[in-house]
């Protein structure tokens, strides 16, 4: 009998075609919206595999309903804070994710957000649209430059390294990083220095968050953290919204503790159009599009299908969260 799998969304074209060739009975949610929890819980019962997205919570409840057939969970994402990893591991279920393939796309977007926030792009576009564009003025809409400045990367993993590499091309001369441990290889390439978070906050002109959301990093960017930063600093988060205490970020921007922010991730997602963040002229927000290039999403989908297939047929996953 073919294994039964649940796939919580249609995948990009190549990945979808590969999925359809699997020797498996596939239940796939077809609508372009997150699968409702009750549907997921109904369909996962007795399934051998699950291919999910970062919008699908994988917890004890889901694992309990799935039962003992479940062999593999494959998330089409590099982040897996939506998965209770310990619970999945304790059930001896394999867990796959999609590292590397989204590094370039996410780093491009993070660099873009840093530039956009530094150069006041939101205010500039609004000014043009609102008829505020008058004659050229020496100080109008002046932002900050990258030449000879310090970049602080919180979490020098694959994406953090790629962001630093990109921003160095704009003139950054000094790269600091903080995190759980030193990253000697990446640090050597970037001539980056490992410092405490406090030192990074105090010394950086640009602070870019590239770390995972964990118990330790949850809301680490609160008012006190923003207070430590330079009043001219630019803050960028393309990792997870939960790393930031969002009301504190709003206050920090209103109180001018920092100059501006660029966000690809928020709490919650989607962010309400009424959110105060969107009313602030010095905050650029985009809707979690870090990895959103067709090439990258197809690669992520393919990787997720390959992980699913390997787990279904008793092989080790090409990209596993743990072995
Ligand atoms: C991920 O894969 O975790 C990213 O946030 C998607 O862009």
Ligand 1 center to residue 237 CA distance, Å? 12
- pLDDT over threshold 90, residue 80: yes
Residues 228-264 have pLDDT tens digits of: 999 999 999 999 999 999 999 999 999 999 999 999 9
d(CA 305, CA 302): 5
**pLDDT (tens digit per residue) in 181-212:** 999 999 999 999 999 999 999 999 999 999 99
ipTM tops the 0.95 cut: yes
**Residue 165 is a catalytic residue:** no
* Torsion angle of C-alpha atoms 192, 194, 196, 197, degrees rounded to 10: 50
Catalytic residue among 119, 122, 288, 297: 288
Which residues partner with 177 through β-bridges?
A: 153, 194
Query: Which residues partner with 94 through β-bridges?
Result: 72
pLDDT confidence bin for 1, thresholds 50/70/90: confident
What digits encode the pLDDT tens for the residues 134-155?
999 999 999 999 999 999 999 9
Residue bearing the CA closest to ligand 1, atom 2: 77
3-state percent helix, strand, coil for the chain, nearest multiple of 5: 35, 15, 45
Question: How is residue 254 written in tokens?
Answer: 């209103």
Instruction: Give the pLDDT band of residue 126 (cuts 50, 70, 90).
Output: very high
pLDDT in tens, 296-320: 999 999 999 999 999 999 999 999 9
Do 129 and 272 meet the contact criterion of CB atoms below 8 Å apart?
Answer: no
- Domains of the chain in start order, with CATH, are 4-100+295-312 (3.40.50.720), 103-285 (3.40.50.720)
Instruction: Give tens-digit pLDDT for 162-183.
Output: 999 999 999 999 999 999 999 9
Furthest-apart CA atoms within the chain: distance in Å: 73
User: What is the DSSP code string of 41-56?
Assistant: HHHHTT-SEEEE-TTS
Pocket residues: Cβ below 6 A from ligand 1:
54, 77-79, 102, 290-291
Instruction: Name residue, tokens 């009313």.
Output: 279
**pLDDT at residue 61 above 90?**
yes
């Amino acid at each position: 009998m073919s294994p039964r799998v649940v796939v919580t969304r249609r995948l990009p074209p190549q990945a979808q075609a590969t999925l359809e060739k699997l020797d498996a009975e596939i239940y796939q949610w077809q609508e372009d919206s997150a699968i409702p929890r009750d549907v997921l819980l109904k369909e996962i019962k007795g399934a051998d595999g699950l291919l999910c997205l970062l919008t699908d919570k994988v917890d004890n409840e889901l694992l309990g309903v799935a039962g003992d057939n479940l062999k593999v969970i494959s998330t089409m994402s590099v982040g897996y804070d939506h998965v209770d990893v310990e619970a999945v591991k304790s059930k001896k279920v394999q867990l796959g994710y999609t590292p590397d393939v989204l590094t370039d796309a996410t780093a491009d977007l993070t660099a873009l957000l840093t530039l956009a926030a530094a150069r006041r792009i939101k205010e500039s576009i609004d000014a043009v649209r609102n008829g505020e564009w008058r004659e050229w003025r020496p100080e109008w809409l002046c932002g900050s430059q990258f030449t000879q400045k310090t970049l602080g990367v919180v979490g020098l993993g694959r994406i953090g390294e790629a962001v630093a590499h990109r921003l160095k091309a704009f003139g950054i001369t000094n790269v600091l990083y903080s995190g759980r441990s030193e990253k000697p290889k990446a640090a050597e390439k970037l001539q980056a220095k490992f410092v405490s978070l406090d030192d990074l906050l105090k010394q950086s002109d640009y602070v870019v968050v590239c770390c995972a959301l964990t118990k330790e990093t949850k809301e680490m960017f609160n008012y006190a953290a923003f207070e430590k930063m330079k009043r001219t600093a630019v803050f960028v988060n393309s990792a997870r919204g939960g790393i930031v205490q969002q009301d504190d970020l709003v206050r920090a921007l209103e109180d001018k503790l920092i100059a501006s922010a660029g966000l690809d991730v928020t709490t919650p997602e989607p962010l309400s159009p009424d959110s105060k963040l969107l009313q602030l002229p010095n905050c650029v927000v985009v809707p979690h599009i870090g990895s959103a290039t067709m090439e990258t999403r197809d690669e992520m989908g393919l990787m997720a299908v390959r992980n699913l297939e390997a787990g279904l047929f008793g092989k080790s996953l090409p990209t596993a969260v743990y072995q």
